[in-house]
Amino acid sequence: MHSEVIEAPLNHITITDPFLGEYQRLIRDVVIPYQWQALNDAIPEAEPSHALANYRIAAGMQQGEFYGMVFQDSDVTKWLEAVAWSLSQKGDPALEQTADDVIELLARAQCEDGYLNTWYSVKEPGLRWTNVAECHELYCAGHLFEAAVAFYQATGKRRLLEIACRFADHIDTVFGPNEGQLRGYPGHPEIELALMRLYEVTLEKRYKDLARFFLEERGKQPYYYDIEFEKRGGTWHWNDWGDAWMVKDKAYTHAHKPLNEQDQAVGHAVRSVYLMTGLAHIARMTQDEEKRQTCLRIWNNMVHKRMYITGGVGSQAVGEAFTSDYDLPSDTAYAESCASIGLMMFARRMLEMEGDAQYADVMERAFYNTVLGGMALDGKHFFYVNPLETQPKTIACNHVYDHIKPVRQRWFGCACCPPNIARTLVAIGHYLFTPRKDALFINIYAGSKARFEIEGKSLQLRIDGNYPWDEQVTITFDNATPVAHTLALRLPEWCENPTVQVNGERAQGGVIKGYLHLHRHWQQGDCISLTLPMKIMRVYANPRVRHTAGKVAIQRGPLVYCLEEADNGADLHNLYLPQEADFRLEQGNGVLKGKVLIQTEGARLATPSEGEALYHFNPRRTALQPQTLTFIPWFSWANRGEGEMRIWINEQA
Amino acid sequence: MHSEVIEAPLNHITITDPFLGEYQRLIRDVVIPYQWQALNDAIPEAEPSHALANYRIAAGMQQGEFYGMVFQDSDVTKWLEAVAWSLSQKGDPALEQTADDVIELLARAQCEDGYLNTWYSVKEPGLRWTNVAECHELYCAGHLFEAAVAFYQATGKRRLLEIACRFADHIDTVFGPNEGQLRGYPGHPEIELALMRLYEVTLEKRYKDLARFFLEERGKQPYYYDIEFEKRGGTWHWNDWGDAWMVKDKAYTHAHKPLNEQDQAVGHAVRSVYLMTGLAHIARMTQDEEKRQTCLRIWNNMVHKRMYITGGVGSQAVGEAFTSDYDLPSDTAYAESCASIGLMMFARRMLEMEGDAQYADVMERAFYNTVLGGMALDGKHFFYVNPLETQPKTIACNHVYDHIKPVRQRWFGCACCPPNIARTLVAIGHYLFTPRKDALFINIYAGSKARFEIEGKSLQLRIDGNYPWDEQVTITFDNATPVAHTLALRLPEWCENPTVQVNGERAQGGVIKGYLHLHRHWQQGDCISLTLPMKIMRVYANPRVRHTAGKVAIQRGPLVYCLEEADNGADLHNLYLPQEADFRLEQGNGVLKGKVLIQTEGARLATPSEGEALYHFNPRRTALQPQTLTFIPWFSWANRGEGEMRIWINEQA
């Protein structure tokens, strides 16, 4: 069951999909250059970033003081990671040179002993590793490692990897179970998953062991966060919700008990999914059944009881956190873009371990809904928070909506989600395919070209179609030499009657955990043809979810749809979808060109005239009037200005 | 239209109603003694109050420091007011002596010049009147004035009234339009309505003029709050929501523009209704049409666009404040008990001015739902916040519900709502009758005996029945000498077909603004018999309210009903009330003895077994199963332990 995954360098997967290709173009042409300007403080209307200046000061190349958050360094390494994956998709010598220069800057900022963190080097020298609960040193290290692996895999260049390894080696001397070492672990997980990535490309066993140390030490009593808190004299860093709350609230950081005793998705949602990504990775690579069981428990709780239909997780703004089972409010949702990216990462690792389509189903749901929805169609505006329902005039006045924005915001207001969306979109090839020893799993049928090495032979294939809009997908093979291998084709949960043909014949194979496994000597000219009927599905939530009682949502393929005021008028809460409605597809116009819209005949409870009573006793006033309903893919909402939006709508019996 | 109201000393109205009588007994036997213990710091498990100690220190009778909030003094005067109204209902020499002793203490604590506030006298001498925006000096003065008027009207004793007048006289020298006077006005309104009460019993014109000054000065530019903020060097008192927010957020205190330019109910809900109570009072007494129009505008916005079905106001916890039109969330509601008390006060003054039953309808709604619901049936537990829907397991985990308690809390956790509920329940006679020159208005048909002086003659009457449970009400007259007067009988909005007989004959009279006006020479033996059919009403909210879309509430008489988990099981959101359901009345048992419950045959969407999917595509799974629904009066919820509660339920077409 713990089949080995073959790590494919990303430059062997190229996105050719027009839909995702446009997103990659936006990352390349708009997001990466804009972020570069921001890192250089060259955007007049933006808050200064100072992130590159911090490195220059640490490197002794510039005078000045540290400026920014305790995790400011990670803005640079996330940018480097996005650049790396982007270069893997399309070469750009000038951009690569810029990145090389940044990498040299990092090298110069790195301390003799391998330490690399500008907050501590510049602002608080001598206080290194005194507050791992709150101060993101290990988190920043993790993003450096991820960038290093990406840059190596995309370009073959080892310079950043060497910087990362020097720092990892240093951390490995500081943390550990031995006399004189700190038995700490990060407040914000990230280094665990990054160490596993570093292990995959370097095969340095110490990195895997250090990841395991962090994961196994977490939550042991006495709590390390309390120990270091006492040691530094009871000081703390974050003040938002009261004194030393981040030290005290152990569940917020998933350090309230050892991971093998945890069984619920709690606390800060992003930290949870990052943590579980690392845990699932090591569980597979070390065939550790106890860790695997923890992953399964947390996954099941998270996905089967605490996930929005959009693949969003984290139901509340306070603590950007999970709440309780089946508590999924549409309007006060947090559902941070980064949390869905982390959910994709967690799903990817579970999929590698389990070869089960349920993980791909969730990965796809998170990607095509919340993650894509996190960025505007112009590539210039972003959502942190992704509500499933919003009414702008109310969010302006009721403070329970303070975290909700009616439209996406310009980049500079926020430094976390936009670069995360950027690196995910350019690395999306990672998620389409899962190359395991037992089979090459094809998870998401986005247009792409890929080459995999199978026992020394090269398997080359191309996916064509217009996913996720059209039902037809073809997979054609380009390798002249036949390769004997199993292809595992995902049969999506949303598809009732998929059909698969190989070279015009009905495919012969077994369905295992939601994948059709086809074994064959694949060679040039072979063609798999999939038909994935995209019936318009009415989705119902489990009746334990009280926010969706009596309501229905619309989904086609992996895309969740919504109503917007622009098409349907205001007061969307008064619209009804009849139980027996017939749907028709429409082509989007203007900014929605290329998107498939859905129309049907529904009904509206008319908004009464201005003076009408607030309460009345007359049931006849609730009579419904016919109205055409127009649904758009939810990821594309708020691209036509401010207005109401709603996913879950009233069902008319 | 500005008919003069005859101020009836309260001791001429006695509650005989078994239902309200039980509440008055609880106030007398439980609440007032408990609060007395609290004020004396004699409750071991409670936070110290220190309120009486503060007065003793100010009086030079005790050494020590001030302890408590900036409005701690008002805990004592609110207690005195409750005692006064309670004495008007039932004599208690020992209690009256205790109150007299407290009044002597206040006399000794009062400064030479009449000033009386222990925070400033003890803690910040020399800083008097430097921060009226935030520091509640004028608010505390108002509660002293109200207590003084009540004590005088209940007992005829003038001692507290003299203390009040000395303080009012002092304030009148400090504040005003003249050279050397402060052009300030209170951050928390209360003194305006209290000065009008003081004017009513003393006929001292300066008190009315001072009230007018405060009301007319409010919101003028440059803002007084900014002027005093600058003068005291930019310091501030309250920190909860950021630096000097209470100074800066003028709309929070309704000081963002002059009252005659305001047209929406905004900001802190309690402050709003207190302010409007004073404004309506002066508008009537000075026949000021501009002020009347302001009252009408704010009333209409508040009641027709921003009021819960329960008579609750203030939709959000942040700022305990109004939000926007039709924003009435059931689960995150604030709807503070004190705000509904203030709404009753505002309604009472509007009713006095307008003689219009719409004000009595709202007054009754607020009283029999939110105000009664604010206190447990044991008299020992209280709600500050009154949600219309709650699920305990969720409010424990999702911080948008931090202000919501699943059951009422012991008194000592909170010092504001419990004494306010206490004084309202013992003064309820004020609200049942509105004695105007043109007619004696009977607003609420609770059992009572009352005597009114009409042009030198005594009109005595008795109301019998079992309001609000039974449809039959009789009003019998006891005065031997006939009195020629108009009786105005309210025909409640919830009653479709009221019938009224006088001495067995169908009553002859005209309906004016919702009151049946009957003119007659009333004398002993005359009997009015009202039948107010209490059909069970299905209530619908205006479709602009998005939280109640597709939902219905149940009301009988003035009582709003709800479902509780104790009777109906958990997951109340899955219960449906058929559009054509027949209702039956049931008698409550146990703690609900004497309450009328309502049952009907409804339906439930079954809660699936534990492992079922979070989302599914199968409409057949939403089939409903029959279930009996049991509704209880909402004011009586949470008297049987913790559980779910819901007013607005799904309607089944």
SS3 content of chain B, % helix, strand, coil (to 5): 40, 20, 40
CA atoms B255, B258, B262, B265: torsion sign: positive
Cα–Cα distance for residue pair B369/B266, rounded to 1 Å: 23
Average pLDDT for chain A? 95
Length of chain B in residues, anyone?
653
Q: Find chain B residues with C-beta within 8 A of A560's C-beta.
A: none
- Chain A residue with minimal CA distance to B325? A394
Cα–Cα distance for residue pair B196/B352, rounded to 1 Å: 14
Instruction: Give the pLDDT score at A622.
Output: 66
Cβ pair B615:A398 closer than 8 A: no
> Is the pLDDT score of B413 beyond 60?
no
Query: Is B36 in contact with B79 (CB distance < 8 Å)?
Result: yes
Work out whether strand A575-578 and strand A649-652 pair parallel, antiparallel, or are unpaired. Answer: parallel
CA atoms B234, B239, B245, B247: torsion sign: negative
Q: How distant is the Cα of B334 from the closest Cα of chain A, in angstroms?
A: 11
Cβ pair A540:B616 closer than 8 A: yes
What is the side-by-side strand order in the sheet with A515-522?
Answer: A433-435, A440-442, A483-490, A515-522, A510-512
Q: Is there a domain that residue A74 lies in?
A: no
- Which of B397, B496, B615 is the mutation pick for testing A, counting most A CBs within 10 A? B615
Burial class (CB in 10 A: 0-12, 13-18, 19+), B503: exposed
pLDDT in tens, B131-148: 999 999 999 999 999 999
Q: Find chain B residues with C-beta within 8 A of A396's C-beta.
A: 324
Q: Find chain B residues with C-beta within 8 A of A315's C-beta.
A: 398
Residue A574: half-sphere exposure toward Cβ, Cα within 13 Å: 22
Amino acid at B188: H
Query: Is A232 in contact with A182 (CB distance < 8 Å)?
Result: no
Q: Who among A400, A538, A579 is closest to B400 (CB)?
A: A400
Q: What angle do CA B338, B344, B348 make, to 5 degrees?
A: 145
pLDDT in tens, B164-173: 999 999 999 9
What number is the average pLDDT over the span A321-334?
Answer: 98
Q: How distant is the Cα of B243 from the closest Cα of chain A, in angstroms?
A: 14
Least confident span in A236-240, A525-529, B66-70, B339-343: A236-240
Which pLDDT band, with edges at 50, 70 and 90, does B9 fall under?
A: low
Cα–Cα distance for residue pair A348/A443, rounded to 1 Å: 10
Q: One of B228, B320, B352, B644 is an active-site residue; which one?
A: B320
**H or E element in which residue A51 lies:** helix A51-58
Cα–Cα distance for residue pair B574/B515, rounded to 1 Å: 41
**How many helices (H) does chain A have, and how many strands (E)?**
21, 25
The residue to which tokens 């020629």 are assigned = B484
Q: Find chain B residues with C-beta within 8 A of A398's C-beta.
A: 315-316, 323-324, 327, 329
Q: Is there a domain that residue A248 lies in?
A: no
Average pLDDT for chain B? 95
Cβ pair B318:A538 closer than 8 A: no
> For the residues of B234-270, what is the DSSP string, one character each?
S--S--TTSTTHHHH-GGGGT-SS-GGG--S--SBHH
Q: How far is CA B163 from CA A484, B35, B104, B158, in A?
A: 101, 23, 10, 9
What number is the average pLDDT over the span B423-451?
Answer: 96
> For the residues of A201-232, what is the DSSP string, one character each?
HH--HHHHHHHHHHHHHTT-SS-HHHHHHHHT
Cα–Cα distance for residue pair B201/A570, rounded to 1 Å: 53
The residue to which tokens 């020097």 are assigned = A166
Which pLDDT band, with edges at 50, 70 and 90, does B95 fall under?
A: very high
> Is the pLDDT score of B299 beyond 80?
yes
Query: Is B151 in contact with B165 (CB distance < 8 Å)?
Result: no
Q: How distant is the Cα of B251 from the closest Cα of chain A, in angstroms?
A: 12
Which pLDDT band, with edges at 50, 70 and 90, does A251 fall under?
A: very high
What number is the average pLDDT over the span A147-154?
Answer: 96
pLDDT in tens, A4-37: 555 545 558 999 999 999 999 999 999 999 999 9
Instruction: Give the pLDDT score at A258.
Output: 98
pLDDT in tens, B470-509: 999 999 999 999 999 999 999 999 999 999 999 999 999 9
Same domain, B501 and B565: no
- Chain A residue with minimal CA distance to B310? A615
Kindly list the catalytic residues of A: 320, 416
Cβ pair B614:A539 closer than 8 A: no
> Is the pLDDT score of B1 beyond 50?
no
Cα–Cα distance for residue pair A208/A433, rounded to 1 Å: 24
Amino acid at B636: S
Cβ pair A318:B543 closer than 8 A: no
pLDDT in tens, B44-94: 887 889 999 999 999 999 999 999 999 999 999 999 999 999 999 999 999
- Chain B residue with minimal CA distance to A302? B614
> For the residues of A566-595, what is the DSSP string, one character each?
HHH-S-GGGEEEETT--EEEEE--GGGTTP
**H or E element in which residue B34 lies:** helix B32-39
What number is the average pLDDT over the span B429-433?
Answer: 96
Q: Find chain A residues with C-beta within 8 A of B618's C-beta.
A: 540
Q: Find chain A residues with C-beta within 8 A of B560's C-beta.
A: none
Q: How distant is the Cα of A43 from the closest Cα of chain B, in angstroms?
A: 29
Cβ pair A323:B652 closer than 8 A: no
pLDDT in tens, B233-252: 999 998 877 889 999 999 99
Q: Who among A309, A549, A617 is closest to B538 (CB)?
A: A617
pLDDT in tens, A398-446: 999 999 999 998 865 557 788 999 999 999 999 999 999 999 999 999 9
Instruction: Give the pLDDT score at A452.
Output: 94
Instruction: Give the pLDDT score at B315.
Output: 98
Q: Find chain A residues with C-beta within 8 A of B397's C-beta.
A: 323-324, 327
Q: Find chain B residues with C-beta within 8 A of A581's C-beta.
A: none
Cα–Cα distance for residue pair B283/B597, rounded to 1 Å: 42
Cα–Cα distance for residue pair A589/A178, rounded to 1 Å: 64
Instruction: Give the pLDDT score at A1.
Output: 31
What number is the average pLDDT over the span B606-622?
Answer: 86
Instruction: Give the pLDDT score at A3.
Output: 41
- What residues contact B545, with CB distance under 8 A and at least 6 apart? A614, B326, B328
What number is the average pLDDT over the span B259-263?
Answer: 98
What range does the domain containing A645 cover?
536-652
What number is the average pLDDT over the span B287-294?
Answer: 98
What number is the average pLDDT over the span B120-141?
Answer: 96
pLDDT in tens, A81-105: 999 999 999 999 999 999 999 999 9
Q: How distant is the Cα of A518 from the closest Cα of chain B, in angstroms?
A: 28
DSSP state of A31: I
> Is the pLDDT score of B459 beyond 90?
yes
Which of B475, B510, B531 terminates a domain? The answer is: B531
Could you tell me where the DSSP H helices lie in B306-390? 337-354, 357-365, 372-373
Same domain, A526 and A559: no
- What residues contact B406, with CB distance under 8 A and at least 6 apart? B390, B392, B395, B638, B642, B643
Q: Who among B402, B550, B611 is closest to A650 (CB)?
A: B550
Cα–Cα distance for residue pair B289/A284, rounded to 1 Å: 79
Helix B137-155 and helix B191-202, axial crossing angle in degrees, nearest 10: 30
Query: Is A507 in contact with A475 (CB distance < 8 Å)?
Result: no
Query: Is A537 in contact with A556 (CB distance < 8 Å)?
Result: yes
What number is the average pLDDT over the span A159-170?
Answer: 98
Q: Is there a domain that residue A219 lies in?
A: no
Q: Which tokens in the block code for residue B467?
A: 């309001």
DSSP state of A129: T
Same domain, A470 and A556: no
Cβ pair A400:B329 closer than 8 A: yes
Q: Is there a domain that residue A39 lies in?
A: no
Cβ pair A539:B615 closer than 8 A: yes
Q: Is there a domain that residue A266 lies in?
A: yes
Cα–Cα distance for residue pair A119/A125, rounded to 1 Å: 8
Same domain, A274 and A422: yes
> Is the pLDDT score of B400 beyond 60?
yes
Q: Who among B546, B550, B650 is closest to A391 (CB)?
A: B546
Q: How distant is the Cα of A241 from the closest Cα of chain B, in angstroms?
A: 11
The residue to which tokens 């920043």 are assigned = A140
Amino acid at B643: G
What is residue B533's three-state secondary structure? coil
Q: Quick check: bond before B468 cis, omega within 30?
A: yes
Q: How distant is the Cα of A430 from the closest Cα of chain B, in angstroms?
A: 27
Which pLDDT band, with edges at 50, 70 and 90, does B43 fall under?
A: confident
pLDDT above 90 as % of chain B: 92
Same domain, B449 and B494: yes
Instruction: Give the pLDDT score at A2.
Output: 36
Question: What backbone torsions phi and psi does residue A49 show, to the nearest 5 degrees?
Answer: -90, -50
Number of cross-chain residue pairs from A and B with Cβ atoms under 8 Å apart: 160
Q: Is there a domain that residue A353 lies in?
A: yes
> Is the pLDDT score of B621 beyond 80?
no
Q: How distant is the Cα of A627 from the closest Cα of chain B, in angstroms?
A: 16
Domain count, chain A: 3
Q: Which tokens in the block code for residue B309?
A: 């079905």
Same domain, A417 and A491: no
- Which of B343, B358, B614, B625 is the mutation pick for testing A, counting most A CBs within 10 A? B614
Cβ pair A318:B540 closer than 8 A: no
Q: Which tokens in the block code for residue A472?
A: 């037809």
pLDDT above 70 as % of chain A: 97
- Which of A614, A625, A650 is the mutation pick for testing B, counting most B CBs within 10 A? A614
Amino acid at B378: D
Cβ pair A544:B307 closer than 8 A: no
Q: How distant is the Cα of A184 from the closest Cα of chain B, in angstroms?
A: 28
Same domain, A505 and A566: no
Same domain, A269 and A403: yes
Q: Which tokens in the block code for residue B280?
A: 């309506």
Instruction: Give the pLDDT score at B160.
Output: 98
Q: Find chain A residues with C-beta within 8 A of B268's C-beta.
A: none
> In chain B, what's the furthest Cα-to-Cα distance?
80
**H or E element in which residue A142 lies:** helix A137-155
Q: How far is CA A157 from CA A88, A283, A422, B321, in A?
A: 12, 29, 21, 59
Which of A391, A413, A431 terminates a domain? The answer is: A431
Q: Who among A324, A546, A612 is closest to B573 (CB)?
A: A546
Same domain, B523 and B553: no
Cβ pair B540:A617 closer than 8 A: yes
> For the residues of A192-203, what is the DSSP string, one character each?
HHHHHHHHHHH-
Which pLDDT band, with edges at 50, 70 and 90, does B190 fall under?
A: very high
Same domain, A501 and A588: no
Q: Is there a domain that residue A516 lies in?
A: yes
Q: Find chain B residues with C-beta within 8 A of A542's C-beta.
A: 608, 612-616
Cα–Cα distance for residue pair A557/B617, rounded to 1 Å: 12
What number is the average pLDDT over the span B514-522?
Answer: 97
Cα–Cα distance for residue pair A546/A425, rounded to 1 Å: 34
Cβ pair A400:B332 closer than 8 A: yes
Q: How far is CA A633 from CA A15, A410, A472, B546, in A?
A: 22, 22, 19, 23
Q: What angle do CA B630, B634, B637 make, to 5 degrees?
A: 85
Q: Who among B303, B323, B546 is closest to A573 (CB)?
A: B546
Q: Is there a domain that residue A636 lies in?
A: yes
> Is the pLDDT score of A464 beyond 50?
yes
> Is the pLDDT score of A112 beyond 70?
yes
- Which of A307, A327, A400 is the mutation pick for testing B, counting most B CBs within 10 A? A400
What is residue B308's three-state secondary structure? coil
**H or E element in which residue B261 lies:** none
Cβ pair B332:A327 closer than 8 A: no
CATH of the domain at A448: 2.60.40.1180
Same domain, B347 and B461: no
Which of A373, A404, A431 terminates a domain? The answer is: A431
Which ipTM value was assigned to this complex? Answer: 0.94
Query: Is A649 in contact with A576 (CB distance < 8 Å)?
Result: yes
Q: Which tokens in the block code for residue A347?
A: 């799903």
The whole-angstrom distance between residue A584's C-alpha and the CA centroid of its chain comes to 31
Same domain, B605 and B621: yes
Q: Find chain A residues with C-beta within 8 A of B398's C-beta.
A: 315-316, 323-324, 327, 329
CA atoms A572, A573, A575, A581: torsion sign: positive
Amino acid at A361: D
**H or E element in which residue A372 lies:** helix A372-373
